């Protein structure tokens, strides 16, 4: 915020400059000037009216005009598509009149389900963001770019590994238990699994349907909201050829501070083991050798983080051809992305082609197609993502990656006593995992105007994914770093790959969508506007896969199945299918643009539900009242350009229940050998609830949209209450004595109540244009009904926390013990409550609070902690001045609890160096009350015996997500090269982070307890965009 304040004097200076330019010459007879739009682009064919003498003239193609008049005259300038402006003449030449495009934030058209709607007429809670805004960030993943752009849409990138599309997307909180809580995503009206195959460059805009009334048209798939993405198509007018390129570099945002000083590490390791009653891992001679040696090759302080993490290049190239005439428009776009990881062998390549075409066959009929093809090429080691990171974390400083003898052989430990886990380099020197993913989203559509105002649109689409996956592993020999008495580096093992051979899987997913809509729009009389839509849609998906595995390859380079031995080969394959069939409709009515009503309806049948319950109806209704259109308000408070109250109510469903055949009474097939012959069997292994029905989500939404003085202050504020009932999940009350897995049933309900604020300020001081925005979303998640209170354990490490799901609490609340410092001496231990799970307590272990005061710490002493954030927010600044654009974008999360342990937290887990805070750990002479005595591993009972708040962190953060500085080269300079526009820019992602969380990145996945995760990346990119 400080920076913005500093800018103030600069604005004043600019202001003064502009007005001082008004040189005075009062005697001239004609006024000359140029009409431009924001960004200095000329506006052709603008009409200029001198209100003092009544003369008019038209500006030419370059926007230049000349009209008779004198200083002090008032010119009224108008042009189609722009708001008219009155301009007081203060000089006779070089006047610049800037027109504001009519398509302002509140006036533009937004995409809604099966159609579009003028933003001013929206009655639901709908957020949107333009592609241009998204691509200011250099991050290559379209989903991640939505972070912070729409209030209520929480995006959490799970990993910094390139090409791994694991992003948590939650709209208005967690909506269900175990089914999908992610929103429905549609690209050009067709549902897709993820946005990650898209090149962000190809996105025209993104709309988010947040409330039930808007989303009800998507019925059984819309419970968690809907994200509608529209790709770019050609525009009528001049054809353009566009090239843009970005060249960047990325590195880890933040890495932990671990103890890599070998003698310290070795001493602490021995101490930690002694504390667990285990023998020393190093002899004093060994420690002394490291402490006294100056030969850092032989006795290194090897820092594995420094060794492993590097800068990764990101290159993005885009070529676009687009344009059109009155009848036909086209857009052809090619994209290439090369993203190298911040670790070696973590590479991502993406190739996109987008071809869209639209033509008017005759007055009545238009047809078009839109084909988006993507090839993704992903390389990663056989242990990848977070698993790879923990290998780096558990590397000890006593040995380097390669033997000191220069032979290039790999080291896995300094001494035999250290041998345990495979080393990072062993994994990196193995073959790896290779993905080749092809995605095609091909659509064709036709639109027929049957009679005036009655349109029939039909679209057919195939969304095709073809994925090839290979996992190739071979032996990688590992040796001891320190030679034995004979100078020989002892062979340890083949690095414990989990198999030696090739696993290959070919999988496909084909989704066929066909929908057809009739729309009717009419104005009845002067005041009544009516729009009707009715439609039919059917979607079916078929996903086969085939898997094969062979071992026994003659060497480590051959990588085709045929090269392996057929002995003991394994094959698997299966096909999954689902289908959805739907009828839907919408009614829009408005009276004098003042009273707005919208109703949406959908009737869905799903293959995932038993035939008796298969069909279900969803509907939503919303209403808006534009107070600003009321004369009394317009008179009383003319500063309101827009003042709208909105209310909506509707029901939605969730068919993403994680199982295509949940209701079917089926027998598992299995095999059993009798007398050396394998027989096939059928056995019942699960219970089935044939009455399985739909999950039901009701959302009530109240909102207000305010615009003061055409953007000087804008606000969109929403309150909602989202209630989900009949949640589809596995029953948790089924005793094991039934001997079958529990059925999937409609169990439980929960609610999310929340607020969303989207505030903006837009102002212009001469050529200086700036806007500020601030978004905040907060919700309270509460389970309102469960069949039985359920306690589970969060995965990712040993000693993970319990999660409690019970009425009145947030879903899967942390259910853990509270720690209260460190036992300083035996007397304190004796005076404290018994901690039976802490083993034999020693001074330096942690105290756990006996909440119920019964003298023993037990399960009843656990307390709950909310796993959901208090609020998420983003804010930023957009400025432009004479072709210079500067934007800054911040995003943050407040009070996000996570329970984190393992490598990087628990000292010496698989030899992992402890975090450096253990340099200040408790010892009898250093009575710390915050850092326990250095301990061994993640199950040391004195610390980990009770999963406690010792491991609970608040991962609140505020992050400068992006900063962007762009310069549009003035047109004059471009004329020589016949370019229509050239922008050069510098963009930086994740450059600054404010957090109290120690060590690693606070922005991380929330679904597991592992501290060692693949870090996010800082990216700095320079780029240019040129149009011809």
Partner 1 sequence: MKHVLIKNIIWTISLISCFSCKKFLDKNPGDVISSGNFWKNEDDARMGLTGVYSRLNSVSYYNYTKVFLEGYSDNAYTFLIQSFLDMTKGTVNATNVPGGFFSGPYSGIAACNYFMANIDKVEAAESLKNQFKGEVRFLRAMYYFDLVQAFGGVPLYKQEPATVEEAKIAASSSDEVLAFVHEDLDFAISNLPDTRYFGHAVRGAAQALKGKVLLFQKRWPEAATLLKQIIDGGVFDIAPSYSGLFLTATQQKNPEIMFATSYLAPNRTHSASGEGLETEVGWYGAVGVYQPMADEYECIDGKPITSSPLYNPAKPFENRDPRMDITLKLPDEDYVFSDGSVFEYPLQETPFMMQKYLDMTHFPFSRDISSVKTDVNIIHIRYADVLLMYAEAKNEASGPDASVYSAINKVRGRAEVALPPVDQVLYNSQAALREYIRHERRVEFCCEGLRYFDLKRWGIMDEMLKKVENPAPYTPLNLAFGEKNNVLPFPQSEIDKNPALQQNAGY
Q: Within positions 467 to 526, which residues make up the interface with partner 1, using CB under 8 A? A: 473, 490-491, 494, 496-501, 514, 516, 518
Q: Does 336 bind partner 1 (CB under 8 A)?
A: no
Radius of gyration of the chain (CA): 33
Residues 252-291 that bind partner 1 (CB under 8 A): 277-279
Residue number with CB closer to partner 1 (149 or 550): 550
Residues 541-560 that bind partner 1 (CB under 8 A): 551
CA distance 905 to 951: 8
Q: Which helix (H) or strand (E) holds 588?
A: strand 565-591
Q: Does 980 bind partner 1 (CB under 8 A)?
A: no
Residues 656-675 that bind partner 1 (CB under 8 A): 660-661, 664-675
Which residue has tokens 């069939």?
581
CA distance 186 to 910: 45
Q: Quick one: how far is CA 1 from the chain centroid? A: 26
Residue 547: beta bridge partners?
505, 572
CA distance 596 to 120: 10
Residue number with CB closer to partner 1 (734 or 974): 734
Among left, alpha and beta (phi > 0; psi -120 to 50; other), residue 675 is left
**Inter-residue contact 993 to 961 (CB < 8 Å):** no
Q: Does 697 bind partner 1 (CB under 8 A)?
A: no
Candidate list 81, 237, 638, 681; residue touching partner 1; CB under 8 A: 681
Q: Quick one: how far is CA 730 from the chain centroid? A: 28
Residue number with CB closer to partner 1 (53 or 793): 793
Q: Does 683 bind partner 1 (CB under 8 A)?
A: yes
Candidate list 27, 451, 485, 524; residue touching partner 1; CB under 8 A: 451
The one-character DSSP state at 286 is: H
**In the complex, least distance from residue 236 CB atom to partner 1, rounded to whole angstroms:** 27
Select from 139, 128, 50 the least CA-distant residue to 95.
50
Size of the site for partner 1 (CB under 8 A): 84
CA distance 82 to 289: 79
Residue number with CB closer to partner 1 (29 or 498): 498
Candidate list 117, 159, 513, 606; residue touching partner 1; CB under 8 A: 606
Q: Does 611 bind partner 1 (CB under 8 A)?
A: yes
**In the complex, least distance from residue 997 CB atom to partner 1, rounded to whole angstroms:** 32
Q: Does 856 bind partner 1 (CB under 8 A)?
A: no
**In the complex, least distance from residue 604 CB atom to partner 1, rounded to whole angstroms:** 10
The helix/strand/coil state of 977 is: helix
Residues 931-950 that bind partner 1 (CB under 8 A): none
Q: Does 56 bind partner 1 (CB under 8 A)?
A: no
3-state SS, 107-140, equals: CCEEEECCEEEEHHHCCCCEEEEEHHHHCCCCCC
The one-character DSSP state at 923 is: B
**In the complex, least distance from residue 575 CB atom to partner 1, rounded to whole angstroms:** 6
Residues 868-907 that bind partner 1 (CB under 8 A): none
Tokens representing residue 372 in the block: 């988006």
User: Phi and psi (nearest 5°) for 920?
Assistant: -110, 30
Residues 397-436 that bind partner 1 (CB under 8 A): 419-420
Which range binds partner 1 by CB under 8 A, 294-302, 328-336, 649-657, 682-690?
682-690
**Inter-residue contact 526 to 540 (CB < 8 Å):** no
Residue number with CB closer to partner 1 (172 or 459): 459
**In the complex, least distance from residue 368 CB atom to partner 1, rounded to whole angstroms:** 18
Q: Which helix (H) or strand (E) holds 682?
A: strand 677-683
The helix/strand/coil state of 313 is: strand
Alpha-helical regions (H) of 921-996: 941-944, 971-974
CA distance 421 to 911: 8
**In the complex, least distance from residue 906 CB atom to partner 1, rounded to whole angstroms:** 18
Residue number with CB closer to partner 1 (328 or 864): 864
**x/- string (CB under 8 A) for partner 1, residues 774-813?**
--------------x-------------------------
Residues 821-850 that bind partner 1 (CB under 8 A): 836
Q: Does 12 bind partner 1 (CB under 8 A)?
A: no
Residues 193-212 that bind partner 1 (CB under 8 A): none
> Who's near 332: CB < 8 A, 6+ residues apart?
320, 321, 322, 353, 354, 355, 356
Residue number with CB closer to partner 1 (777 or 790): 790
**In the complex, least distance from residue 411 CB atom to partner 1, rounded to whole angstroms:** 16
CA distance 112 to 123: 12
**In the complex, least distance from residue 801 CB atom to partner 1, rounded to whole angstroms:** 15
Residues 733-752 that bind partner 1 (CB under 8 A): 733-740, 742-743
**x/- string (CB under 8 A) for partner 1, residues 567-596?**
xxxx---xxxxxxxx---------------
Which residue has tokens 């005793």?
735
User: Phi and psi (nearest 5°) for 925?
Assistant: -95, -10
Residue number with CB closer to partner 1 (735 or 831): 735
**Inter-residue contact 380 to 432 (CB < 8 Å):** yes
Residue number with CB closer to partner 1 (212 or 480): 480
**In the complex, least distance from residue 737 CB atom to partner 1, rounded to whole angstroms:** 5
Q: Does 679 bind partner 1 (CB under 8 A)?
A: yes
Residue ranges with strand state E in 420-500: 432-451, 454-473, 478-480, 491-493
Which range binds partner 1 by CB under 8 A, 8-16, 684-692, 810-818, 940-948?
684-692
């Amino acid at each position: 915020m400080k920076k913005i304040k500093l800018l103030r004097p600069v604005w004043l200076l600019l202001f003064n400059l502009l007005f001082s330019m008004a040189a005075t010459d009062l005697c001239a007879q004609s006024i000359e000037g140029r009409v431009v739009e924001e960004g200095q682009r000329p506006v052709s064919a603008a009409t200029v009216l001198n209100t003092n003498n009544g003369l008019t003239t038209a500006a030419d193609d370059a926007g230049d005009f000349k009209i008779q008049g004198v200083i002090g005259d008032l010119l009224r300038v108008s042009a189609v598509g722009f708001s008219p402006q009155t301009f007081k003449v203060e000089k006779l030449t070089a006047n610049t009149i800037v027109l504001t495009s009519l398509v302002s934030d509140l006036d533009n058209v937004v995409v809604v389900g099966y159609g579009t709607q003028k933003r001013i007429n929206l009655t639901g809670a709908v957020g949107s963001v333009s592609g241009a805004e998204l691509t200011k960030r250099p991050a290559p993943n379209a989903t991640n770019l939505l972070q912070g752009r729409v209030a209520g849409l929480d995006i959490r990138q799970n990993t910094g590994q390139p090409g791994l599309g694991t992003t948590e997307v939650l709209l208005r909180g967690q909506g269900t238990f175990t089914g999908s809580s992610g929103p429905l995503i549609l690209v050009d009206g067709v549902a897709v699994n993820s946005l990650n195959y898209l090149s962000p460059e190809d996105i025209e805009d993104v709309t988010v349907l947040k409330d039930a009334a808007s989303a009800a048209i998507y019925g059984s798939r819309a419970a968690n909201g809907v994200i509608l993405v529209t790709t770019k198509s050609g525009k009528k007018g001049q054809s353009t050829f566009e090239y843009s390129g970005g060249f960047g570099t990325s590195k880890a945002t933040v890495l932990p501070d671990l103890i890599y000083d070998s003698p310290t590490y070795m001493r602490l390791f021995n101490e930690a083991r002694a504390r667990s009653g285990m023998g020393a891992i190093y002899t004093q001679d060994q420690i002394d050798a490291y402490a006294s040696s100056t030969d850092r090759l032989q006795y290194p302080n090897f820092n594995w983080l420094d060794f492993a993490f590097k800068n990764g290049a990101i290159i993005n190239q885009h070529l676009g051809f687009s344009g059109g005439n009155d009848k036909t428009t086209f857009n052809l776009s090619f994209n290439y992305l090369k993203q190298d990881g911040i670790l070696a062998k973590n590479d991502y390549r993406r190739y996109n082609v987008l071809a869209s075409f639209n033509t008017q066959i005759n007055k009545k009929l238009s047809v078009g197609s839109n084909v988006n093809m993507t090839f993704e090429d992903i390389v990663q080691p056989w242990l990848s993502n977070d698993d790879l990171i923990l290998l780096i974390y558990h590397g000890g400083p006593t040995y380097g990656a390669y033997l000191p003898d220069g032979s290039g052989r790999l080291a896995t430990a300094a001494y035999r006593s250290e041998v345990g886990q495979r080393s990072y380099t062993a994994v990196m020197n193995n073959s790896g995992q290779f993905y080749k993913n092809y995605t095609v989203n091909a659509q064709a559509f036709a639109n027929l105007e049957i009679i005036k105002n009655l349109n029939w649109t039909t679209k057919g689409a195939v969304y095709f994914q073809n994925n090839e996956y290979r996992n190739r592993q071979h032996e990688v020999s590992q040796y001891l770093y320190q030679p034995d008495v004979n100078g020989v580096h002892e062979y340890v093992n083949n690095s414990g790959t989990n198999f030696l051979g090739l696993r290959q899987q070919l999988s496909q997913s084909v989704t066929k969508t066909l929908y057809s809509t009739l729309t009717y729009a009419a104005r009845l009389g002067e005041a009544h506007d009516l729009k009707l839509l009715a439609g039919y849609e059917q979607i079916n998906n078929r996903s086969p896969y085939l898997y094969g595995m062979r071992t026994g390859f003659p060497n480590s380079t051959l990588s085709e199945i045929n090269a392996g031995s057929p002995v003991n080969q394994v094959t698997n394959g299966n096909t999954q299918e689902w289908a959805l069939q739907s009828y839907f409709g919408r009614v829009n009515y408005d009276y004098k643009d003042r009273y707005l009503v919208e109703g949406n309806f959908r009737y869905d049948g799903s293959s995932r539900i038993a035939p008796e319950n298969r069909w279900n109806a969803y509907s939503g209704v919303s209403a808006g009242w534009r107070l600003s259109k009321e004369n009394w308000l317009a008179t009383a408070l003319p500063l309101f350009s827009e003042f709208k109250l909105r209310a909506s109510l509707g029901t939605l469903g969730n068919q993403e229940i994680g199982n295509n055949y949940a209701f079917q009474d089926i027998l598992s097939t299995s095999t059993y050998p009798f007398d050396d012959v394998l027989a096939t069997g059928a056995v019942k292994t699960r219970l089935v609830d044939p009455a399985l029905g739909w999950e039901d989500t009701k959302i009530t939404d109240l909102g207000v949209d305010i615009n003061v003085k055409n953007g000087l202050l804008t606000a969109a504020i929403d309150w909602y209450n989202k209630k989900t009932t009949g949640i589809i999940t596995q029953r948790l009350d089924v005793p094991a004595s039934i001997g079958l897995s529990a059925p999937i049933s409609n169990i439980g309900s929960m609610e999310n109540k929340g607020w969303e604020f989207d505030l903006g300020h837009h102002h212009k001081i001469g050529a200086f244009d700036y806007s500020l925005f601030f978004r905040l979303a907060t919700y309270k998640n509460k389970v309102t009904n469960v069949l039985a209170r359920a306690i589970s354990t969060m995965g990712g490490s040993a000693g993970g926390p319990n999660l409690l799901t019970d009425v009145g609490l947030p879903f899967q609340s942390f259910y853990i013990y509270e720690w209260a410092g460190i036992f300083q001496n035996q007397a304190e231990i004796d005076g404290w409550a018994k901690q039976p799970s802490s083993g034999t307590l020693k001074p330096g272990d942690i105290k756990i609070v006996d909440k119920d005061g019964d003298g023993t710490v037990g399960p009843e002493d656990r307390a709950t902690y909310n796993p959901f954030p208090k609020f998420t927010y983003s804010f930023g600044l957009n400025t432009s001045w004479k072709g210079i654009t500067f934007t800054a974008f911040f995003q943050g999360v407040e009070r996000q609890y996570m329970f984190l342990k393992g490598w990087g937290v628990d000292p010496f887990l698989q030899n992992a160096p402890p975090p450096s805070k253990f340099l200040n750990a408790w010892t009898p002479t250093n009575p710390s009350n915050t850092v326990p005595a250095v301990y061994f591993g993640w199950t040391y009972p004195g610390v980990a015996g009770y999963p406690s708040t010792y491991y609970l962190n608040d991962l609140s953060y505020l992050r400068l997500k992006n900063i962007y500085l762009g310069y549009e080269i003035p047109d004059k300079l471009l004329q020589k090269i016949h370019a229509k526009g050239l922008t050069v820019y510098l963009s930086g992602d994740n450059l600054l982070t404010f957090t109290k969380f120690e060590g690693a990145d606070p922005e991380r996945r929330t679904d597991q307890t592992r501290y060692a995760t693949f870090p996010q990346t800082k990216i700095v990119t320079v780029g240019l965009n040129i149009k011809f």
